[in-house]
Structure 1
């Protein structure tokens, strides 16, 4: 079995040298939005820290086939995700040459002279290959964005669509210069080790060996060795044991330990980014202290209290902290971002005098703060020792509230990792100088932030389920005027069914009206029910009764109010939308700008005109929007030519924003119209305008990018 291993940048991998094929025995594409967000943000962070440095993205294990064909044994998730990122960059690019370069990473254009056949760089399993090629690799993502949930044939296709939206939105939030830097770094500096063999069984053995991890040294192990070595010999054993006692409760997950030291690095060095935790923490934090003879002080006065703070953040409901402090920590943990943790750690360490003491009674019995949230799993010990010595609790609460507000607004406005970490760094630096929470400025919210947040609240919530749930929790608690005991399982689910079947009362709604409400907050409800329990329920009464079945669901006032609503109408959703937006605006104190204008009373369109934060998004574009923008004209015709089948289909654009086929049937989306005549594989991009031959994909893209 011949094995080769070479390190190459992506620009050398997505070429005619490799034609990647996912074999049928491989699992489907399973990455979710969090995974692709992490990929984009990690590469962006690496680029910001050192544009000329390399970023290692792991290895690919391949089996050689005929010519340049390789079966992918390990690496499918990354290859598919990278292709999605390339496609999003291509569709956001208005420079034809750069767009063509990005497209070449997805598709081999072919060269008869060199004997190269035109084909995609990556071919998925049979079930998803055609979908991936037509929706991502060829043309543009517009056809993908026009699809509804019922249009997907597999979970892999659904994941591809969701991740394409996530990648597009993340990259669209960057300005053009930033995005160009990101693209250049991704292609030239992101490195992958290519491991190839000519034997399938051998490839699987390589995979097993590479994934059978031993017990490597963690960052904590390295820092402990450096610190203990800097101490007098007679105290080394004492402090080695002390270090272990401090760090053992944090667990032995290397990634979690690195996250702790990255947070500590930001707190002590005021540097937002820490890409190489060993080198950065040693150089910026530990070695200067060791050189100054502060090894023991570092363990006792820095490591011990901050490690305890980290534990408290991980399991706030098990601590002996006051209920209102626990409530804010639980609220912060609702967010999937982690950039808030350094500020929260600083707040706890500077509010509890004896936090670093081994005798401090940090943890109580599990569930002691039931009003805040259900207890989380933790290795926290039972309460024992001296009570916590809290001081300046008012500042602690002010800081946590301001922190939650900033994290919430930034999450809604889809701020990236770097600006969120810059916020934290600026706030901690100011607090260390003795400034007040407001004077430090890191957590301040501008009028621009307010307008953008309210614009996003009013529009389509193209965000993860965790943020939708967090928004509804805050709106309900604002309505209640108090924190609400949360059940262990709590979801944000839609009132409208995702799939409207014939005979359902919702089928009588105009299709454009159903589309409008699909992803808006007025359509969402907090409940203990889950998606599968609602999937087959097509009437409002049945869905309402299931949503209200649990007493825990009825704790939330906006959910409980459904019992008084006999019929769901667009006006009902509009009223829920208005109330929820106002409640959130009041909760975060973002309702009024500096001129005391009530921003919560402004329409989405008005807010979008007043904010520069708006960027193109992956939200579905409607025919009516394109008509209003002057890119389509009611009465004009579109054609789909299929010469090989001898078919020609024509549709007319109606003034109501629909497409009418020659038989008189009307459809609310180009995809629906195409599938009515051409089957499930047809999509938006098959239609062309008869006046100039321009495809709807190009027209939809022009509308989406009109904000530039």
Structure 2
């Protein structure tokens, strides 16, 4: 079925009529306009009213999820404007009595008509937390009682803003019209007849969200998690919604909005175990929400523990009395990889096994090896996801340190493939893959004790790529094919914390060590480079030995033997 998007311009008399029954979803931000914005709106409207006798005033646009022919309208964008306009109309209506008051009150509340199946109720329903407060004071025209409330007794910032803005509107009306009923009525007629909003509506959440993102260049765009929040929190008993909303918002603060959206993508992968084919909003509802009859359980058993696990993995903050430093170091290495496909497996494991420190250490060693293998060997996203899906399936079964998930282990075929990459032309890999490998090797040489800043990293050749005729290099490496065979391999590469120096790269070995590799102090931050600084010569024989030694370190640390 086509998700029709429609847009039309409506007078406020139509906007606040039986054609629309507005509700603000629970995932929306609270009402945030202060008396500054409310005062600016009133000033603009009043100034236009005084100076323009015939023209119409454009109030902007709102975005709704709404089926054609049905009044129910979920407000995706425009709640601040609709709420403030309702406050303005309510304060104005409170100045009238009799039929005039009843006339204007129809813009605030649906009076109800039994013959048309219309019940009496407010035309705008705010978020659940503020809905009754708004209805009791603003939409019931109890403005004096509202203003008399002690601000310290109000439940939240939204209610404070509602009270302040009502007070501001009452003050502005007195200043502008001095309680002159005729002038107030003329201003009210201007509001409902000559002020317009553009309404963009669609029956699809996804298309409404897309329209909102395009139209709204101010404020904070909605994310799929905001829409998911409405489904989840809305499915919880009303008396429990505040507690779960608070839990939800605390998790979002801890991760950040973008991080929280990433969490939901990983939760989707944990459940789906395959590459996403649709938008996150649709897939999360289909793959995750549909599996739960209790939304409380979804929050407590999935969203909260997986978010906690995400924070541990992403921020490298595993806590225990033993092995925490090594586990967090492994997490740091995985976070250096150019994809986050490993994270769902880490989250799944940490959410269920985090208290077994010995098992966590075992698993993270294996997971880092698996992630590094696919990174260095340039596995594409489809192949990576297929490999991690097997691991996620295994993690759903019973497992422990005595009976660990063996799917995280590398097969003999994978080990052989990796050894081929490690022994090949490492320098010709992409910079992210090459740098990961060389820094990881360097960390193995110092037993993981070093920290690294990859933003300062360059990789340099010891034997230069171009050998000048008559140089020491040409004398010690006379065969072009031998030089070509070794120049880009692991043994001939060193990490440096300085910019590449094209001139120095061709220096003879001794001068290159002192002037380039050792820097001003004659020392290096890297174990790999320090080894080269200690070498007496750089010949085909010495580089063969060095290659064997380095591959032996990688084979031992990444447990690649037996391939």
Q: Aligned equivalents of 2:336 and 2:283: distance in 1?
A: 29
* Counterpart among 515, 524, 548 of residue 493 in structure 2: 524
Give 1:3-152 correspondences, 5 Å limit. Answer: none
**Distance of aligned partners of 1:486 and 1:460 in 2 relative to their CA distance in 1, 3 Å threshold:** same
Mapped contact 1:429–1:440 kept (Cα < 8 A): no
- 2:415 aligned to which of 440, 446, 450: 450
CA distance, structure 2, for counterparts of residue 533 and residue 241 of structure 1 = 58
1:575 corresponds to which residue? 545
Residue 588 (1) aligns with residue 555 (2): no
Query: Corresponding residue for 2:392?
Result: 428
Normalising by structure 1, we get a TM-score of 0.44
Deviation at 1:341, TM superposition (A): 0.7
Aligned partner of residue 407 in structure 2, secondary structure: coil
Q: Say which SS state the counterpart of residue 445 (structure 1) adopts.
A: coil
Q: Which residue of 1 aligns with 2:531?
A: 561
Matches of 2:491 and 2:375, distance apart in 1:
19
Residues 459, 496 of structure 2: 8 Å contact kept: yes
Query: SS of the counterpart of 1:350?
Result: helix
CA distance in 1, matches of 2:250, 2:398: 32
**Could you tell me which residue of structure 2 aligns to residue 276 of structure 1?**
279
Counterpart of 2:473 (choices 490, 502, 506) is 506
Match of 1:218 among 215, 223, 241: 223
Q: For residues 145-193 of structure 1, give each alpha carbon's deviation from its aligned partner in whole angstroms, at most 9, with x where no partner exists.
A: xxxxxxxxxxxxxxxxxxxxxxxxxxxxxxxxxxxxxxxxxxxxxxxxx
Distance 1:336 1:486 in 2: 18
1:404 maps onto 2:404 in alignment: no
User: What is the aligned counterpart of 1:493 among 460, 468, 480?
Assistant: 460
Q: How far is 1:453 from its partner?
A: 1.1
Q: 1:343 aligns to what?
A: 345
Cα offsets for 1:602-640 (capped at 9, x unmatched): xxxxxxxxxxxxxxxxxxxxxxxxxxxxxxxxxxxxxxx
1:302 matches 2:266: no
Alignment of 1:689-700 (within 5 A): none
Tell me how far 1:269 sits from its aligned partner.
3.5
Are the structure 2 counterparts of residues 567 and 323 from structure 1 closer, same or farther at C-alpha, using a change threshold of 3 Å?
same
Q: Structure 1's 351 and 553: CA in aligned 2 closer, same or farther, altered over 3 A?
A: farther
SS, match of residue 493 in structure 1: strand
**TM-score of the aligned structures, taking structure 2 as reference length:** 0.54
Q: Is the 8 A contact 1:406 1:443 kept in 2?
A: yes
1:474 correspondence with 2:443: no
| Aligned mates of 1:550, 1:315 — CA distance in 2 | 35
Distance between the aligned counterparts of 2:268 and 2:368, measured in 1? 21
CA contact (8 A) 1:270 1:428 kept: yes
Deviation at residue 340 of structure 1 after TM alignment = 0.9
Q: Are residues 525 and 284 of structure 1, via their aligned partners in 2, closer, same or farther at CA, if it must alter by over 3 Å? A: same
Classify the secondary structure of the residue corresponding to 2:247.
helix
2:302 and 2:520 mapped to 1: Cα distance? 46
Partner of 2:263: 260
Alignment of 1:191-206 (within 5 A): none
Seen in structure 2, the aligned counterparts of structure 1 residues 319 and 446 have a Cα distance that, compared at 3 Å, is closer
Mapped to 1, the partners of 2:353 and 2:505 lie a distance apart of 51
| Contiguous gaps of at least 5 residues in structure 2 | 1-213
**Does the 8 A contact of 2:391 with 2:407 survive in 1?**
yes
SS of structure 1 residue aligned to 2:373: helix
Closer, same or farther: CA 257–517 of 1 in aligned 2, 3 Å: farther
Tell me if the contact between 1:476 and 1:558 (Cα under 8 Å) persists in the aligned partners.
yes
In our comparison, the structure showing a higher alpha carbon Rg is 2
Q: Deviations over 1:653-685 (max 9, x none)?
A: xxxxxxxxxxxxxxxxxxxxxxxxxxxxxxxxx
What does 1:182-197 align with in structure 2 at a 5 Å threshold? none
Question: Would the alpha carbon gap of residues 577 and 430 (structure 1) be closer, same or farther in structure 2, given more than 3 Å must change?
Answer: same
Which residue in 2 is equivalent to 1:235? 240
> 8 Å contact 1:273–1:418 — kept in the other structure?
no
| CA gap 1:396/1:319 in 2 versus in 1, 3 angstroms | closer
Partner Cα separation in structure 2 for residue 517 and residue 213 of structure 1: 56
> For the residues of structure 2 that align with 1:306 and 1:282, how far apart are their CA atoms?
17
Cα distance per residue 1:294-327 (max 9 Å; x no partner): 21222233212222222222221x5645112112
Query: Which residue is equivalent to 1:702?
Result: none
Whole-angstrom CA distance in 1 between matches of 2:492 and 2:540:
10
- The superposition leaves residues 347-398 of structure 1 with CA deviations (integer Å, 9 ceiling, x where unpaired) of 222234xxxxxxxxxxxxxxxxxxxxxxxxxxxxxxxxxxxxxx21111111
Deviations 1:401-432 (A, max 9, x none): 11111122222333222232233222232222
Paired with 2:506 and 2:215, the residues of 1 have a C-alpha distance of 47
3-state SS of 1:529 partner: coil
Displacement of 1:246 after TM fit?
0.4
Distance 1:231 1:210, change over 3 A: closer
Distance 1:529 1:492, change over 3 A: same
Q: Which has the higher helix share?
A: 2
Q: Report how far residue 275 of structure 1 moved.
A: 4.8
Deviation of 1:224 after TM superposition, in Å, equals 0.8
CA–CA separation in structure 2 for the residues paired with 1:233 and 1:532: 67
**Alpha-carbon spacing, 1:487–1:473, altered in 2? closer, same or farther (3 Å):** closer
Gaps of 5+ in 1: 1-208, 353-390, 594-708
